[in-house]
Structure 1
């Protein structure tokens, strides 16, 4: 009897130990607000249809609502198998985002080494998102979605993901991390039609964080490849067209939980055809040939941001972004520029639940009458003119 009890106890201990070496976690976030927008278009892609003041219940003012599964298995010797599956959804009506893809935000599997870093394969974020966005107010920053730069032209708001990608992110070596990734076109005989690559570096020492990143997407506007690195049917498009490049630098200084940050990003798109907001609102077709032939657009974004914790559970934040662009086409040129101010107050009931008040004001000049350069904030209906104000009161809950 003693031996039987010992055997049962030993087997239970072994099972517990095996269970402790691997884990699967269900996680998520729900963000819903009541939002006011000025000058909203009735038809987002047709400013001539008119519009006006808009009140709406809105999902994802700061962070897109999502749920997912993540896990790891200890393989021994400091090596683990890891995975991440993440779905984005609209909390106001329960519908899926990212073109209806089940795990449209992220879907990857890989190996993680405590000594060297992590190698992953699947649908993933590039290094503009991984290293540079945390120093910004937008994206993973405190201001989130409505603080994004115009059209999220630099992807700091992580509206775009790379399919078919292999990504390596190093462990920290004296505060330095480096990373590189490649995304396949998956197209027979067209290796460079909608493939992509990205690289980045970050450095953290004491209260100072620095980062730089680069992303290039190779596309043929005459022969679109919908199954390549950047999908054309998942609702995650940014500026559409041909060859696209993004790069930038950023710095952040922390004092306690509070922070100040500055960054600059530059993007360019050849044969540009359309501009989008938040990845799923078509803001307007650019003048020129239907395939964008002869078109070229570039953006430079300059941002300063800061967040101050008045109390451990109450913070005030703000950012200012100046964006200047150059657009050239066979039918006309423009030099639009944007001034955008964001302000936020956030109160935490707990580590998982908080309420916020956030407002954004955007004004555009130099659009040369091109409606695609009217004001527009995230996926709120774009403005009928060159100005727009958004004010939102919302609740976020994490699980």
Structure 2
């Protein structure tokens, strides 16, 4: 007699599917692989004074905005153990605007970070869209990263210490940690046939951390920054001014190169932390010809020196307060000066959720990059109609 094929009840089918799914989930664990989903949602209400309208007048503005203390994001981080101390690593990180659901970083899908690489006991090599070493080592020491948010960054984030720009087409080496010391080197290919140097970027940095002391420093050189450094948004072209709307720097888009040196330190004393930051930014070889990239026809080199001091105090495990003062001075092709003070308070209601309050005030003087009297322009906000601007923000931040 021919044997009949077995029959399966719906319950048995569901059990078989569950077993297969469980195996698929646990199988990577045997290979010691992990993929982590993570993210931050930062949303709040802003008050900004003296915002310039299209008619040139200044008015107060009340608005909702996303990602000021921490850029709103979601990401995937993966690690696979290859044996012998070697691991394959990757990060895909998307930035977005909670207010309207739009993509951030110029509408790029993974505009914050997108890289893959290999980690070894001697260091790691990564390739893709990444932060440069100046950002990796100096940004974490900045008041803008700790309590004042992006509106408390240096004017127009001219030194990129608040990581406004990421580096495409890059290869980065990060050393292992040796007694608290570590270092990085990055090179970005320009991608121009027959000209290795066109649009290339390179950067180096180092850091030291031991007990209460943290140090960081870095140096970056970007060739043709309007394309290589600023021009990574969807729709950006070499002919368009990609420096943004801030009059602090948008008149310098014709620069043939940009150089940034940054250094910072923090030192903890009990519940208090003292910090200091210095940066030097140069927009070199400005064309002089009047164009959308150089509306004032500026020639030579525009240099900015920025110094900042800050103080933080942890009143309780949940409540902290920070204050900072920044002075940014233009030299050579410009003489604009910016005085800026900021204050921030943070209260954590759980390990993942906190509320924060930020206040920033800026005063400008001299002549800015557009050839006009300098206007106050808090980073990321619409510039003022005069030489002074203030902003206050209250917000909620959730990490997952």
Instruction: Give the TM-score, by structure 2 length.
Output: 0.84
Structure 2 counterpart SS, 1:141: helix
Report 1:232-381 matches (<5 A): 232-234=232-234, 237=243, 239=249, 240=253, 241-255=255-269, 258-272=272-286, 287-289=295-297, 294-328=299-333, 334-367=334-367, 370-371=371-372, 373-381=374-382
Q: How much has 1:51 moved relative to structure 2?
A: 3.0
Q: Which residue of 2 aligns with 1:59?
A: 66
Shift of 1:205: 2.0
1:285/1:366 CA distance change after superposition, 3 Å: farther
1:152-167 to 2 correspondences below 5 Å: 152-167=157-172
- Deviations, residues 370-393 of structure 1 (Å, cap 9, x unaligned): 447311112211101110000001
Contact 1:184–1:229, Cα closer than 8 Å, also in 2: no
Are the equivalent residues in 2 in contact too, given 1:270–1:295 (CA < 8 A)? yes
Q: CA deviation at 1:242?
A: 1.8
Separation in 1 of the partners of 2:277 and 2:364? Answer: 20
The 1:398–1:257 alpha-carbon spacing in structure 2 relative to 1, beyond 3 Å, is farther
SS of corresponding position for 2:156? helix
In the alignment, is the contact (CA less than 8 A) between 1:154 and 1:265 conserved in 2?
A: yes
1:36 aligns with 2:47: yes
CA–CA separation in structure 2 for the residues paired with 1:192 and 1:323: 31
Is the 2:48–2:389 contact (alpha carbons within 8 Å) kept by the matching residues of 1? yes
SS in 2 for 1:373: coil
RMSD: 2.6
* Alignment partners' CA distance in 2, 1:52 and 1:136: 30
Distance 1:167 1:300 in 2: 27
The equivalent of 1:147 in structure 2 is 152
Which structure carries more strand by proportion?
1
The answer for unaligned runs of 5 or more in structure 2 is 1-18, 237-241
Q: Say if 2:103 is the partner of 1:96.
A: yes
Tell me, in whole angstroms, the C-alpha distance in 2 between the residues paired with 1:308 and 1:81. Answer: 39
CA distance in 2, matches of 1:61, 1:160: 16
Give the equivalent residue in structure 1 for 2:388.
387
Q: Counterparts of 1:151 and 1:168 in 2: how far apart (Å)?
A: 29
2:136 corresponds to which of 130, 137, 153: 130
TM-score, normalised to structure 1's length? Answer: 0.84
Are 2:263 and 2:278, in contact at CA under 8 Å, matched by a contact in 1?
yes
Report how many residues are paired.
362
Give the structure 2 partner of residue 168 of structure 1: 173
Match 2:214 to one of 209, 212, 218: 209
Evaluate the alpha carbon distance shift between residue 20 and residue 193 of structure 1 in structure 2; reply closer, same or farther with a 3 A threshold.
same
Instruction: Report how far residue 79 of structure 1 moved.
Output: 1.0
| Structure number, greater radius of gyration | 2
Give the drift of 1:111: 0.7
